Amino acid sequence: MGKPTVGLFGLTGCAGDQLVILNCEDQLLDLVGALDIRDFLMASSDNDVQCDLDLALVEGAVLSKRDEEKLIRIRQRSKALMAVGTCAVWGGVAAMDRALDRAKLLRDIYGEQGAQYDSLPARALHEVVKVDLNLAGCPIEKEQFLSAVSNLLNGDPPILPEYPVCAECRMREYNCLLIEKGQVCCGPLTLAGCGARCPGLGIPCVGCRGPADDANVASALTMFGEKGIPREAIAAKLRTFAPMSGDRS
């Protein structure tokens, strides 16, 4: 079997996940050697924009008609599509407070002509097309990306955590910022994979990796309540990187 054909794409975002890939300095040349990268606009001016792809890696959120059309086209030409980064997986920072009046925001920031921009409320990829794999993180973790790609190259599914940051934090025996200091830490509800980086630095988790499937929400809410942290405070934090289920697009 030949090398898998791969495309790397960015919709609207900060390009941070593509940057993390380019930051794999020690593995970059092996990585591009193991893959047949056909389309990677951020790194190459010679791209095949038509060919079929075994795997499309897509970062960023859908924020315009242009993004939407581009994503649909990427989906059509790809056997598998991986959402890369919190914007692609959840909508990211642009999706916070999706219930706000977007037309008004456009007017406030860009003046009257803002209404004419190609601008849609932020959506995650799965709200537009079928997504086969999710790699969350704002930005993604280098090691997780490399391990996911290695697994895929071996024909295995990537192994990604479903438990919360809290579990990683305890395994590393960091001091609990929530219980010991009463700080608003999103660790109990946020997807692991970062090695509890922020709590390890004495900084509360801001939830940049989006919600964890395996989180014990009831217990976390009780814990926040016991610490006198209002539900709205934790909701505002969590909403920063992933829209709450109540915030419709």
Partner 1 sequence: MTTKIQVEHLARVEGHGGITVELDGSAVTAVRFDIFEGARLLEGLVRGRSYEDISQILSRICAICSVAHSLTSLKATEAALEVKVSPQTDLLRDLLYRGESIQSHALHLFCLALPDYLNYPSVTALAGDHLDAVTLGLRMKKLGNSIQETLGGRAVHPVNAVLGGFGKLPSTDQLIALREGLLQGMVDTETAIELLASLPAADFCHSETVFAALRSPGQHGYYLGDEIIVRSNGLRRSVPAAEYRSLTNERAVPGSHAKHSALNGRPLMVGALARLSINREGLSAGAAAALERLGLTLPSDNPMDNNKAQAVELVHDVERALATVERLLEEGLNEERCVPVPPRAGTGTAATEAPRGLLIHSYTYDDAGRIVAADVITPTALNAASIEDHLRRTVEQSPDQDVAALTKKLEMIARAYDPCISCSVHLLQRHHAA
Rounded Cα gap, residues 193 and 143, in angstroms: 9
User: To the nearest whole angstrom, how small is the minimum distance from the Cβ of residue 168 to partner 1?
Assistant: 15
244 near partner 1 (CB under 8 A) = no
DSSP one-letter string for 13-41: S-SHHHHHHHT-TTTHHHHHHHSEEEEET
7 near partner 1 (CB under 8 A) = no
223 near partner 1 (CB under 8 A) = no
Number of amino acids touching partner 1 (CB under 8 A): 66
DSSP one-letter string for 48-95: -SSS-EEEEEEESBB-SHHHHHHHHHHHHHEEEEEEESHHHHH--GGG
Are the C-beta atoms of 59 and 85 separated by less than 8 Å? yes
Rounded Cα gap, residues 28 and 22, in angstroms: 7
Q: How many CB atoms lie within 10 A of CB 115?
A: 13
State which of residues 43, 72, 171, 235 lies at the interface with partner 1 (CB under 8 A): 43
State which of residues 7, 139, 210, 243 lies at the interface with partner 1 (CB under 8 A): 139
User: To the nearest whole angstrom, how small is the minimum distance from the Cβ of residue 156 to partner 1?
Assistant: 25
According to DSSP, the residues that pair with 61 across neighbouring strands are 12
Those residues whose C-beta lies under 8 Å from the C-beta of residue 86, and which sit 6 or more positions away, are 92, 136, 137, 138, 208, 209, 210, 241, 242
169 near partner 1 (CB under 8 A) = no
Rounded Cα gap, residues 35 and 75, in angstroms: 19
100 near partner 1 (CB under 8 A) = yes
5 near partner 1 (CB under 8 A) = no
Binding string, residues 182-221; x marks residues near partner 1 by CB under 8 A: ---------------xx-xxxx--x-x-------------
Site for partner 1 in 15-34 (CB under 8 A): 15-17, 19-20, 22-23, 25-26, 28-29, 32
Nearer to partner 1 by Cβ, of 112 and 213: the residue is: 112
State which of residues 30, 69, 108, 214 lies at the interface with partner 1 (CB under 8 A): 108
Q: Which token pair is 45?
A: 């001016």
Q: Which residue ranges make up the site for partner 1 (CB under 8 A)?
A: 10-17, 19-20, 22-23, 25-26, 28-29, 32, 37, 40-47, 61-64, 66-67, 92-94, 96-97, 100, 102, 105-106, 108-114, 117-120, 122, 138-139, 197-198, 200-203, 206, 208, 236-237, 240
